[in-house]
Chains A and B, each alone.
Chain A
Amino acid sequence: MSDTPIDRVAKATPPSVASKIRGLSDRAIAWLFVLPTIFLLLAVNIFPLIWTINLSFTNFRANRPNREVDYIGLRNYERILTDEDIWLTMQATAHFLFWTIFFQVLIGFTLAWLINRKFKGNDLWTTLIVLPMMLSPAVVGNFWTFLYQPQIGLFNYGISFLTGIDPSSFQMIGDVTLAPWSIVIVDTWMWTPFVMLICLAGLRSIPDYIYEAAEIDRASQWRQFWTITIPMVLPFLMLAVLFRGIENFKMFDLVVQLTGGGPGSITELTSINLKREAFEKWRTGYASAYAIILFVTVFGLASIYVKALNKVKER
């Protein structure tokens, strides 16, 4: 018999305890294994969620913990849903969501399709392309403010190199019309590889014989692309969109470092707006209601989407 540390522990364990452990039924082991995780999630996720729901009906302010707390019913919810500034924030988020997903799907799918031409060294290049998405969004986002600087920034210089526009004539993050695009560009730069990887898995899952059969039927390349490639990759693509949608709805770190929500509040996405309310204005009750609304929105959208996704998969 081998004598691993575990065996030694087993030998040193008093027989009564050992027999208790040995005697555990599978059912007991299952609970023993699952409960710590459930307990941790209850303590750090569910309990706070319930607390947030409770706070959302109050006028509590976390910077004045000793002040009396009043229950004000649904007034926080009412104020949020009728607040025009919050609708502007939602619009900024929608703009960000739509265009990041649009560009990431377009570029990501194209890249995956190109990589799937199986040229020499495609594995190496795929790995290199993937690098940006694994890095810390806050650290990278902060550095992008340097790349975006007029004149000395690499981005402005690159644009001027390609188009001949004076590099000091535009400010990506200081300009009201350009700032929303500046965050779309960085997010697209960072997350296109994510969509690409998922599309690549989709493309690689299509068996060759389907194309061979189509070839025998003399279907054109174009037709093969629309009737085989696209439908077969679609479930993968939708999964990628689901992930990016949820992630970007929660977007905080990258954008807060890039623009901080500015100029004005043009790029103030919901998470940044929420952070202002909760941790700068300290309207804790109000912010709690806001958080619940966001959570319900993302959860609702995600469930609808997952249902659609399952339908596509069934086909």
Chain B
Amino acid sequence: MSSYSITEPSSLQKWLAGTLVVAYAVITLLPLVWILTTGFKSPVDAIAYPPKILFEPSLEGYVNLFTTRTRVSPETLEALPPPVTWYEEVVRNRDMVIAGPSRYGERFLNSVIIGFGSTFLSVFLGTLAAYAFSRFKVPLKDDLLFFILSTRMMPPIAVAIPIFLMFRTLGLSDTHLGMILLYTAVNISLAVWLLKGFMDEIPREYEEAALIDGYTRFQAFYKVVLPQAATGIASTAIFCLIFSWNEYAFAVLLTSGTAQTAPPFIPTIIGVGGQDWPAVAAGATLFLVPVMVFTILLRKHLLRGITFGAVRK
């Protein structure tokens, strides 16, 4: 028998609370479910009235996402040899032929390169700075930490004006390197603040023991502190990655082709007479699912990450 506690809610209260929360969750997840299902709808089903909940799954959205197509006359279509692959058949059914691959693959790859590049850099620099802020007497420590945080308060568009000019002068416009450096600078405030919190939690005694054993500061740092901070470093990295992955304002202003990431690209996927919603939804699904997986992995550190380490559970 468990002991009776006056602070434990009654079972009726729990049941009511649970029902309301589940109802909210279902409503709030509907738009996401809609993205997922629209990706598998045919263009006709996607814009059906009333909105279709049950539909015949189709891969046309995904085919359209990855290809560019041209319309051909029925005679030309007749004259063509029969389609070799299933996706060619999907396209032919719409009186079209595949003209080539779309740019989605490249844009997705750009997101991966810029995301991982800036994450690596900001976590690397952030770890060093956080260790110094956590362990040493740095002159003007509080001011420097506040300065680092305050860089996050600027509206991105305001920063983008001189960055645009600077990149143009240095030849960094629309390059991977430029975007990696820019995202690193934005992410580093988060990295330093989060990592400092994680490092503050590692007892100093461990390093002090190592120093007495004859380790140098460097050795104590990478052999004692780093392994202890591994979880913190990993979750910080995921937060940085998600930021770079989702970023739109800088990407849309400073990139146009070579280094364009997926967020400015996905809304430009158009079909006949406006946006090709199944293809947009397919592109969005592939782009959003990795973040959902990371969010679930991160759930224990989520609060800390989104508040710059201000709230710890």
Contacts and interface: CB of A to CB of B under 8 A. Distances in A.
A123 B172 CA distance: 45
Given A136-B246, A143-B281, A197-B303, A41 B185 contact: yes
Interface stretch (A21-29, A73-81, A82-90, A173-181): A21-29
A159 interface: no
B296 to A, nearest CB: 6
A72 interface: no
Contact of B128 (A37, A134, A284): A37
B157 A22 contact: no
A16 to B, nearest CB: 15
Interface stretch (B9-17, B74-82, B94-102): B9-17
Nearest to B111: A136
Q: Looking at A26, A44, A140, A198, which has the most chain B CB atoms within 10 Å of its CB?
A: A44
B209 interface: no
B313 A204 contact: yes
Contacts, number: 295
A294 B158 contact: yes
B18 A122 contact: yes
Given A26-B217, A37-B125, A49 B154 contact: yes
B248 A288 contact: no
Contact of B47 (A62, A152, A274): A152
Nearest to A128: B25
A271 interface: yes
Interface in B269-309: 275, 277, 280-281, 284, 287-288, 291-292, 294-296, 299, 302-303, 306-307
B61 interface: no
Interface string B245-275: 1101100110000000011101100000001
Nearest to A278: B161
A129 B155 contact: no
A51 B15 contact: no
Interface string A117-143: 111111101111111111111111011
Interface string A17-42: 00001101011011111101110110
Given A21-B218, A30-B138, A252-B157, A201 B132 contact: no
Given A136-B246, A291-B155, A33 B132 contact: yes
B152 to A, nearest CB: 8
A260 B9 CA distance: 47
Contact of B311 (A128, A143, A198): A198
Interface in A296-315: 298-299, 302
Interface stretch (B28-36, B63-71, B83-91, B228-236): B28-36
The B interface, classified by DSSP as helix, strand, loop or mixed, is helix
Interface residues of A, number: 105
Interface in A43-74: 43-49, 51-52, 55, 62
A70 B12 CA distance: 73
B310 A239 contact: yes
Q: Looking at B18, B51, B135, B162, which has the most chain A CB atoms within 10 Å of its CB?
A: B162
Given A128-B29, A134-B295, A147 B34 contact: yes
B28 A189 contact: yes
B160 interface: yes
Contacts of A27: 136
Nearest to A134: B295
A243 interface: yes
Contacts of A270: 155
Contacts of B216: 21-22
A49 B313 CA distance: 36
Given A130-B302, A135-B246, A278-B160, A154 B7 contact: no
Given A152-B51, A158-B30, 14 more contacts: A29-B132, A34-B133, A37-B128, A49-B162, A119-B18, A127-B299, A134-B295, A138-B246, A138-B248, A138-B252, A142-B266, A198-B311, A208-B7, A291-B158
Which 8 pairs of residues, A with B, have the shortest CB-CB distance? A291-B158, A48-B162, A44-B185, A119-B18, A117-B17, A138-B248, A33-B132, A30-B136
10 contacts: A27-B136, A34-B133, A44-B181, A117-B17, A152-B48, A158-B30, A189-B31, A212-B7, A252-B155, A295-B153
